[in-house]
Copies of this chain bind each other. A is one copy, B any other.
């Protein structure tokens, strides 16, 4: 038995340097040893393929990724421990000393958060000395992939909810405590009205919601006592959870309660059917102002059905399906070397083709304001006649080039982007594939490298 205290798996935000794959460090050492540490490399983040059930993605996570990137560092303890590892025993001490003061000093361009993006598009472009650019790969992907997954899922839910307010309830089912924080932000960014996550709401300054769980009702002798007791303490914002025993009985009880009440919540069963019954009961008791909220493993196809059938539900709490992106929990987001010392670099592994050269992505918008098509082109070729560039500068020499948008601004951008989607992409199911093309120059360059 080990008498030592439990190992914490909370990283120190000031020492996130080793949150990376070992091969990033062995390669970095290899570049130093081979005199290549000063070479300038450009890597690009993109998504290889859209996951199942997704016809677009909402890019998210950049603010935290960049914030952490700018302070990515190794602590002295970390370096002392690492150099004793078998993997590094063939390395001279000279490799480890520079790690002590290592910071990311590269340039970063990126598509702003809240932007609708597609497979194959450069989302982030990193230009830095080769070992630095390599070092940050794992951390960047880990920081951007999940927020993008959740924002993309949230956008589908927002479209399906057709204007009804959405509440993010997933903290307990996210992949660990930090994921819950990231999910709350992505959900809000994509149009959710609020989160139940207290610390996420506090950090992000976003609305926080929540009233009672089943345990509250169970903690009293009767459901009536539970409801009355809650209304006494929180007269302004009472939402009564009515399905602990028998849902419609719970609604009847709530309807006859002599207490202020804002809403009831139904968390199980056929929520559309129960909502209809609840609406009738509430209305019959003169409680037409009392809203009906639904929760319990809800997702976008269910919501679309509620919308289509006019279920009298006034808002939705969404948890597990959103925060795990259950129908598509992984994103083929990659970070690929595209240029080294100004020379285009490519890759041919089956299913993993990569276009060479630093890129810009241009979006063409029609006269109706809807997105028409995107074009990826070399960053240094003349821009096309039509189309706005999506990538903007974020860091220069590791330092912010301009103030970044606030979360409210990102949220507004996302709303504008969803409004500008081509009509088929607003449907939950579609065969429509948004056109993303590569410039003639890029195609020619790829062809030239391939046949070489």
Contact = CB atoms under 8 A, between A and B. Distances in A.
Interface of A: 1-11, 13, 16, 18-27, 29-31, 33-34, 36, 39, 41, 43, 63-64, 66-68, 70, 78, 81-82, 85-87, 89-91, 130, 134, 137-139, 141-143, 145-147, 149, 169, 171-182, 185, 196-204, 208-216, 218-219, 229-230, 232-237, 243-247, 267-269, 320-321, 324-326, 329-331, 333, 335-337, 340, 345-352, 402-407, 409
Given A179-B178, A405-B2, A26 B145 contact: no
Which 8 pairs across A and B sit closest by C-beta, in order of nearness? Answer: A6-B67, A22-B210, A23-B210, A2-B406, A175-B175, A178-B178, A329-B329, A141-B172
Given A2-B409, A178-B11, A22 B196 contact: yes
Contacts of A196: 21-23
Contacts of A9: 64, 178, 181-182, 185, 200, 203
Contacts of A237: 86-87
A24 B268 CA distance: 20
A317 to B, nearest CB: 10
A409 B236 CA distance: 52
B236 A177 contact: no
A91 B33 CA distance: 64
Contacts of A19: 171, 177, 180-181, 197-199
Contact of A176 (B63, B70, B143): B143
A350 to B, nearest CB: 4
A34 B234 CA distance: 12
B30 A209 contact: no
Nearest to A61: B176
Nearest to A229: B34
Contacts of A335: 172
Contact of A202 (B31, B82, B146, B219): B82
A355 to B, nearest CB: 13
Contacts of A20: 171, 197-199
A329 B340 contact: no
A435 to B, nearest CB: 27
B232 A3 contact: no
Contacts of A67: 5-8
A236 B11 CA distance: 31
Nearest to A245: B348
A145 B169 contact: no
B177 A1 contact: no
A210 B21 contact: yes
Q: Indicate the member of A68, A324, A326, A345 with the most B CB atoms within 10 Å.
A: A324
Contact of A142 (B87, B177, B349): B177
A154 to B, nearest CB: 14
Contacts of A174: 142, 146, 175
Contacts of A30: 212, 216, 229-230, 233-234
Given A215-B43, A405-B2, A406-B2, A68 B179 contact: no
Contacts of A209: 22, 87
A337 B1 contact: no
A176 B176 contact: yes
A185 B10 CA distance: 13
Contacts of A13: 8, 10
11 contacts: A1-B403, A16-B177, A19-B171, A29-B233, A87-B210, A87-B234, A146-B179, A172-B335, A176-B176, A269-B350, A324-B329
A302 B1 CA distance: 37
Contact of A6 (B25, B66, B202): B66
Contacts of A215: 27, 41, 43, 134, 336-337
Nearest to A21: B196
Nearest to A221: B343
